[in-house]
Amino acid sequence: MREETPAIWLFGPLGAGKSTLARAAAAAWPGAGEVLDEDAAEGPAGTGGKVSRDALAKAELRAASDALALQRAGKGVVLARTSPWREPRVKAWSRLPGVFSVYLSCPLQVRVNRDESGLYQRALAGGLPGLPGLDAPFEKPAKGALVLDTARQTPAQALAELGRALWGRDGPEGRGKTAAPSMDQMVLERLADLGYI
């Protein structure tokens, strides 16, 4: 049976920089594949003017199914998800062979300042109760997960750190290399080195 193409799952509170980093990864590493961005698809707010834990949990499973379909088609995928609760995200990750999860950490004030959607302002005014990372808890990852501090790092620095975590250098091709294995092969080897597969 053919090995599945791995997925990179970026997660963190609204405004942490997930969409920016996902787009940067796809642009810098063409083999990274398609971007599945929660904000572009359904947004993090759930339904009915309130953030719904059930709606977000179902959305996690839908995202995992979409990513799995891309993997089975031989495509890489970078997901940008809020994924605030440990149990639903771990359940979603269990459906994706070779998933590499990355938590984007960023202080609340920086996230509020970055928020172009107005969701934080709406939540702060009481119009969106239960926003994870504001008035609902955001369950941080277990020890050992890759954490990128996007308040202190530029997108390029965060991308380079992600590349080093995956491949031991800034990206799948490295710098100054004239030939390199395919990105899929290198990601699988790196994930195996890290004990993910």
Active-site residues, by number, are 83
How far is Cα 29 from Cα 152, in angstroms, rounded to an integer? Answer: 23
Residue 138 Cα distances to 14, 23, 77, 195, angstroms:
11, 24, 24, 26
Helix axes 53-72, 86-93, angle to 10 degrees: 20
The residue with tokens 């059930």 is: 54
Residue 11 pairs in a beta bridge with 81, 103
Structure tokens at 125: 């005014």
3-state secondary structure 110-176: HHHHHCCCCHHHHHHCCCCCCCECCCECCCCCCCCCEEEECCCCCHHHHHHHHHHHHHCCCCCCCCC
d(CA 63, CA 78): 11
Query: Are the CB atoms for 146 and 101 separated by under 8 Å?
Result: yes
Q: Which helix (H) or strand (E) holds 43?
A: none
